[in-house]
A and B are shown apart, each in its own frame.
Chain A
Amino acid sequence: MVQTRRALTWAWITLVAITVLSFTVAESSGIAGDIETAIVIAAAALKGRVILVWFMGVRSFPLAWRTFFDAWLLVNATVIVVSHLIGHG
């Protein structure tokens, strides 16, 4: 699926904004490690979703492929956050 120029530009702005935000959160010292991890990994999953939808056009994929990539994002994010929580525990 080919996106409009406006949609692509907004996707890029969103990606830049989330990157700056998650970097700022990670570099600020007042946030607990597990909360920080949850935020930066959620931001990563959100950025991944933006790339999949707006740059790769996942919404126009057959169901099986959409499910694969959605599951890929979800599993990665969950595994990373849970393992960090276990490590902190």
Chain B
Amino acid sequence: MGELLEDPPAAAAVDEPPPRPARALPGDVGFWTFIAADASLFAVLFFQFSLDRSSHVSVFNEGQRELLVPLGAVNTLVLVTSSWQLASAVRSAHRRDMAKATRLICGTVLLGLVFAVLKVFEYHVELSSGHTISTSSFFMYYFIITGIHLLHLIVGVIALVVIGFRVRRDTGSPRELVIFECGASYWHLIDLLWMFIFPLIYLAR
């Protein structure tokens, strides 16, 4: 925490936000409201999936057997590793080691792209096997939930590319750190959501 309280460069003094209280959200409160709303939306989807599954167990189990579970597991490892990289990048940025933070952001972006490529390959395999959004209620949920999640991930990758360039410029402005923390929190949300999507859709029987 000590590093957080270091004096910012004088050039950034005009841009400096008020000191953060002992208990505060990283980034921006408004952005956290968006994160909470987004998490709630997924909670509703998980609830609806679970409700429908309880009335059509055999349909959901049959659909689940067609999924590439090891690929889902690999993607879980990819996402948790990306989150670790990004949390380390935030730490580096707080320590004013912007070169390392930029490298770690690049690593996170690459892992995000790996996730997206594996997911597109998975969709290709499912579609080639004749499983579409209209095949069954299971596949409807599969494509909708994982599709919305993939969309979130793509937005996250784009945001991190932009943030990576800003961090690399290293203006020394505390506002840059706030933007970075918002982006990192969004990426961790994507990871958090996948922690439930993977077992719910691929594993739980």
Q: Is the CB of B47 within 8 A of A43?
A: no
Residue B57 CB within 8 A of the other chain: yes
Determine whether the beta carbon of B80 is less than 8 Å from that of A12: yes
- Inter-subunit contact A16/B80 (CB<8 Å): yes
Which residues of chain B are near A56, meaning CB under 8 Å? 26, 185, 188, 192
Q: B205: which of A37, A43, A52, A60 is its contact (CB, 8 Å)?
A: A37
Q: Is the CB of B1 within 8 A of A1?
A: yes
Residues of B within 8 A of A47 (CB): 80, 195
The 0/1 profile, CB within 8 Å of A marked 1, for residues 135-161 of chain B is 000000000000000000000000000
For the complex, is B17 an interface residue (Cβ under 8 Å from A)?
no
Q: How far is the CA of A4 from the CA of B57 in the complex (A)?
A: 45
> Closest approach, in angstroms, between the C-beta of A6 and any C-beta of chain B?
11
Please tell me if the beta carbons of A61 and B25 are within 8 angstroms of each other in the complex: yes
Say whether A84 contacts B50, CB under 8 Å: yes
B76 to chain A, nearest CB (A): 5
A34 to B23, CA, bound (A): 40
Q: Is the interface of A mostly helix, strand, loop or mixed?
A: helix
Q: In the complex the two chains form, what is the Cα distance from A60 to B25 in whole Å?
A: 7
Residues on A with beta carbons closer than 8 Å to the beta carbon of B203: 22-23, 26, 36-37, 40
Does B84 contact A61, Cβ atoms closer than 8 Å? no
B43 touches A72 (CB 8 A): yes
If A2-B91, A8-B91, A80-B46 touch, does A33 touch B199 (CB 8 Å cutoff)?
Answer: no
What distance in Å separates the Cβ of A81 from its nearest Cβ neighbour in chain B? Answer: 8
The yes or no answer to B196 lying at the interface (CB within 8 A) is yes
Q: Do A23 and B73 touch (CB < 8 A)? A: yes
B54 within 8 A of A: yes
User: Looking at the complex, which one of A27, A36, A62, A86 makes contact with B23 (CB distance below 8 Å)?
Assistant: A62
For B188, give its contact among A5, A16, A20, A55 (CB under 8 Å). Answer: A55
- Determine if A76 and B46 form an interchain contact, defined as CB atoms under 8 angstroms apart: yes
CB of B133 within 8 Å of the partner chain:
no
- A79 and B46 form a contact (CB under 8 A): yes
User: Is B204 located at the chain interface by the 8 A CB criterion?
Assistant: yes
| Chain A residues at the B interface, C-beta cutoff of 8 Å | 1-5, 8-9, 11-12, 15-16, 19-20, 22-23, 26-27, 33, 36-37, 40-41, 43-44, 47-48, 51-52, 54-57, 60-63, 65, 68-69, 72, 75-76, 79-80, 83-84, 86-88
